[in-house]
């Protein structure tokens, strides 16, 4: 069996109300000495080699990720109408290579090698109490029921509901914030992904913090309701911080001890598309 991953949700998509999707947390493996087995190798967005990262993958349960993206279009169950998703003729900017990690995780699940774990038990099984939880290494976390995400995050530093301080950081983004049927409490965990100032204003008025993807050369916005910062893990910012160190993209949740201080819960974030 796969000792690094656990299924925490299986059922219909909360985005489309249909489909058969699965939520899988990875990064649970331990070495014999009890320390985390898998370390992050993504120095740009996830952290340096010493930073452990747990990740939530959201996948179609019965379909190879590449097939869902390029053939059937069933990636709508996990990505909605995200303008960046692959196969979208307008943008297709999604940086996730579905044929790599998503395929490997899905294949392990399809082979019957990933066991179920109650989301409330993930925190007790996390191999380290420092590092990062990425909600949505692939797929939009809004596809998972809010109740499941809340149970997962309660144990992993979801201070909004309980008070454990196990995982110091998490990141998460959703393009579904404007959908009427989406649970608006997701803003406690996730940033609203936006592509324009107009969308940013709307999301802000609904209580969301925003992560704005802009064209190259665009400036930080100074007229919004909240200050906007450039992602410090971006090329333009010289990769001066990684997500573990920064932790700004955690929705409305209060982050303790973050280098950016109180600003981490108040700022919006901007990044240039490449």
User: Would you tell me which residues interact with ligand SF4 (CB under 6 A)?
Assistant: 45, 171, 231-233, 241, 243, 246-249, 269
189 CA to centre of own chain: 9
C-beta closer to ligand SF4: residue 183 or 272:
272
Neighbours of 160 (CB within 10 A): 16
In the complex, minimum distance from the CB of residue 121 to ligand SF4, in angstroms, rounded to a whole number:
26
C-beta closer to ligand SF4: residue 63 or 228:
228
In the complex, minimum distance from the CB of residue 182 to ligand SF4, in angstroms, rounded to a whole number:
21
C-beta closer to ligand SF4: residue 162 or 263:
263
C-beta closer to ligand SF4: residue 106 or 173:
173
141 touches 149 (CB < 8 A): yes
In the complex, minimum distance from the CB of residue 269 to ligand SF4, in angstroms, rounded to a whole number:
4
- SS3 percent helix, strand, coil of the chain, rounded to 5, is 25, 20, 55
Tokens matching residue 145: 């029921």
Q: Does residue 56 sit in helix, strand or coil?
A: strand
In the complex, minimum distance from the CB of residue 80 to ligand SF4, in angstroms, rounded to a whole number:
20
In the complex, minimum distance from the CB of residue 54 to ligand SF4, in angstroms, rounded to a whole number:
15
Distance CA 98, CA 86 (A): 9
C-beta closer to ligand SF4: residue 14 or 193:
193
Starting at the edge strand found earlier in the chain, the sheet holding 5-11 runs 5-11, 21-26, 53-60, 132-138, 169-174, 191-194, 210-214, 268-272, 228-230
Distance CA 274, CA 270 (A): 13
């Amino acid at each position: 069996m796969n000792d690094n991953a656990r299924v925490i949700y299986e059922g219909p998509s909360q985005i489309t109300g249909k489909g058969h999707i699965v939520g899988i947390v990875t990064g649970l493996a331990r070495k014999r000495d009890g320390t985390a087995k898998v370390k992050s190798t993504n120095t740009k967005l996830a952290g340096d080699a010493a930073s452990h990262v747990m990740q939530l993958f959201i996948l179609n349960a019965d379909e190879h990720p590449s097939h869902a993206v390029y053939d059937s279009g069933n990636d709508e169950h996990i990505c909605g109408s995200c303008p960046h998703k692959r196969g979208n003729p307008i943008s297709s900017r999604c940086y996730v290579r579905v044929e790599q990690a998503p395929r490997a995780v899905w294949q392990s699940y399809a082979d019957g090698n990933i066991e179920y774990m109650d989301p409330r038990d993930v925190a007790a099984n996390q191999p380290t109490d420092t590092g990062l939880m990425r909600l949505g290494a692939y797929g939009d976390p809004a596809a998972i029921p809010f109740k499941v995400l809340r149970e997962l995050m309660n144990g992993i530093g979801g201070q909004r509901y309980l008070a454990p301080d196990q995982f110091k950081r998490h990141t998460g983004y959703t393009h579904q914030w404007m959908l009427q049927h989406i649970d608006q409490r997701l803003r406690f965990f996730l940033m609203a992904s936006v592509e324009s100032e107009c969308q940013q204003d709307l999301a802000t008025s609904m209580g969301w913090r925003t992560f704005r993807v802009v064209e190259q050369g665009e400036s930080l916005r100074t007229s919004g309701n909240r200050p906007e910062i450039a992602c410090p893990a971006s090329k333009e910012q010289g990769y001066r911080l990684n997500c573990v160190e920064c932790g700004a993209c955690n929705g409305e949740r209060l982050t303790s001890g973050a280098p950016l201080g109180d600003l981490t819960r108040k700022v919006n974030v901007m990044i240039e598309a490449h």
